[in-house]
Chains A and B, each alone.
Chain A
Amino acid sequence: MTADDVWAALDEIPDPEIPVISVVDLGVVKGVEVEGAQVRIDFTPTFMGCPALDTMRRAMEEKVEELGGEAHVRVLLDDSWSTDHITPAGREKLRAAGFAPPAPRPAGKLELVQLQRGFRCPYCGSTDTRLDNIFGPTPCRSIRYCEGCRQPFEQFKTI
């Protein structure tokens, strides 16, 4: 079992709340170290109150067990993750599933006006969209509305 084997196995774990994207696509797996059958995984939550945290942790332990190893998952509560760490493939998967991917983080302070810009609708491609609610069904999502196809859609918050 190599670190690459572990990364490939972890890439099969879907985000419990947005199953089109894997935990590796999300960028929340910060490191994998393999020593014999012992596997250390460094992992950081997206949002700290995300109820999917424990589910993801258990799924990682099970995947490593399937490879014949024993996982030690360390949860990092530091500032090492932002939505800029979602991979390009992950962003594309989000868009294809009807979630607008997060906007890149601005260099300075994030302001409401930046979220009110016309982000592209994942359904019809129109940029005639507006922010309806900065909060949505899970902590990581906002609700937008497309004037082009007259449909609400969700956007991954930039954090």
Chain B
Amino acid sequence: MSERTDRLLSIADDELVLGWRNSEWTGIAPFLEEDVAFSSIAQNEIGHARALYELAAAELGTTADELAFDRRPDEYRCAPLVQLRRLEWARTIARHWLYETADEIRLAALKESDDPELAGIAAKMDREEAYHRMHAEMWVDRLLSSDDGRARLNEAVDELWPYALGVLNDELRPELGRRAEARLGRELPDVEPVPRGVHEAELGELWEEMTMVRRSAPAGAQW
């Protein structure tokens, strides 16, 4: 597999799995606006995953659906940050903000890529991601505006920080640290990242659910 395909699959897997995690709030978010927001963000992320899988599929001679649903859980390249199931609001917001911040750094690098196809798709994705970032930043402002909110956000960020670092490669990681520390106004712990390639038990559970329909119908079933 080429380095390009490996990169496409890493990002696609992040977006698919995080999209799935975000969709877990559909119907049960703390209030209606957030129900709509997380569902809409989920739809965007899964749309990005589809486009990236299609590029990878063209190179591998397969299809986007096969890449999304027919691999074994240990073949997914998504960062452990997106695998975690955290149906608790402060952790959900912390993960959302950390991921979107890391994703902005990653997309900025891809937009500068010599590969026009990758640069174009990154720029197109970034137009939508701008709204995810605004949403995440609005929540960070809100949580930082009270002592209780600040304490909850800080605790969640500390817990997730090694995972957030694992979204990016060695080269881009320091930029995430700079941005996160500037935003929170404090130093973050110096920890070892939980890197891509680690598979949390929660990914297996998500995979069981996500691929259930696909596995229950014979390959090539028409709907």
Could you say which of A48, A110, A111 contacts B48, with CB atoms under 8 Å apart? Answer: A48
| Contact across chains for A110 and B43 when beta carbons are under 8 A apart | no
| Contact across chains for A135 and B36 when beta carbons are under 8 A apart | yes
Q: Which residues of B contact A115 (CB under 8 A)?
A: 134
Q: Which residues of A contact B50 (CB under 8 A)?
A: 48-49
| Contact across chains for B120 and A135 when beta carbons are under 8 A apart | no
Interface string of A69-105 (1 = CB under 8 A from B): 0000000011111100000000000000000000000
User: B residues engaging A (CB < 8 A)?
Assistant: 33, 36-37, 39-41, 43-48, 50-51, 54-55, 116-117, 120-121, 123-125, 127-128, 130-131, 134-135, 137-138
| Contact across chains for A49 and B48 when beta carbons are under 8 A apart | yes
User: A residues engaging B (CB < 8 A)?
Assistant: 47-50, 77-82, 109-112, 115, 132-139, 143, 157, 159
| Contact across chains for A135 and B127 when beta carbons are under 8 A apart | no
Could you say which of A80, A112, A159 contacts B128, with CB atoms under 8 Å apart? Answer: A159
Complex-state Cα separation, A99 to B45, whole angstroms: 25
| Contact across chains for B46 and A49 when beta carbons are under 8 A apart | yes
The 10 closest A-B pairs by CB, nearest first: A49-B47, A78-B120, A79-B123, A48-B47, A135-B40, A159-B127, A135-B37, A49-B43, A133-B33, A112-B134
Q: Which residues of B contact A78 (CB under 8 A)?
A: 116-117, 120-121, 123-124
Q: Which residues of B contact A133 (CB under 8 A)?
A: 33, 36-37
Q: Which residues of A contact B33 (CB under 8 A)?
A: 132-133, 135, 143
Residue from A49, A110, A112, A138 having most chain B Cβ neighbours under 10 A: A49
| Contact across chains for B130 and A135 when beta carbons are under 8 A apart | no
| Contact across chains for B44 and A112 when beta carbons are under 8 A apart | no
Q: Which residues of A contact B44 (CB under 8 A)?
A: 47-49, 139
| Contact across chains for A48 and B131 when beta carbons are under 8 A apart | no
| Contact across chains for B121 and A77 when beta carbons are under 8 A apart | yes
Q: Which residues of A contact B55 (CB under 8 A)?
A: 77
Complex-state Cα separation, A133 to B131, whole angstroms: 11
Nearest CB in chain A: distance from B20 CB, A: 13
Q: Which residues of B contact A143 (CB under 8 A)?
A: 33, 36
Complex-state Cα separation, A143 to B33, whole angstroms: 9
Complex-state Cα separation, A80 to B124, whole angstroms: 8
Q: A49-B46, A157-B131 are in contact. Are A112 and B138 (CB under 8 A)?
A: yes
Nearest CB in chain A: distance from B122 CB, A: 8
Q: Which residues of B contact A134 (CB under 8 A)?
A: 37, 131, 134-135
Nearest CB in chain B: distance from A43 CB, A: 14
Nearest CB in chain A: distance from B64 CB, A: 12
| Contact across chains for B36 and A139 when beta carbons are under 8 A apart | no
Q: Which residues of B contact A109 (CB under 8 A)?
A: 130
Q: A48-B44, A112-B137, A134-B135 are in contact. Are A77 and B51 (CB under 8 A)?
A: yes
Complex-state Cα separation, A29 to B44, whole angstroms: 21
| Contact across chains for A135 and B124 when beta carbons are under 8 A apart | no
| Contact across chains for B47 and A137 when beta carbons are under 8 A apart | no
10 contacts between A and B (CB under 8 A): A49-B43, A78-B117, A78-B120, A111-B134, A112-B134, A135-B40, A136-B36, A136-B40, A139-B43, A139-B47
Q: Which residues of A contact B138 (CB under 8 A)?
A: 112
Complex-state Cα separation, A159 to B123, whole angstroms: 11
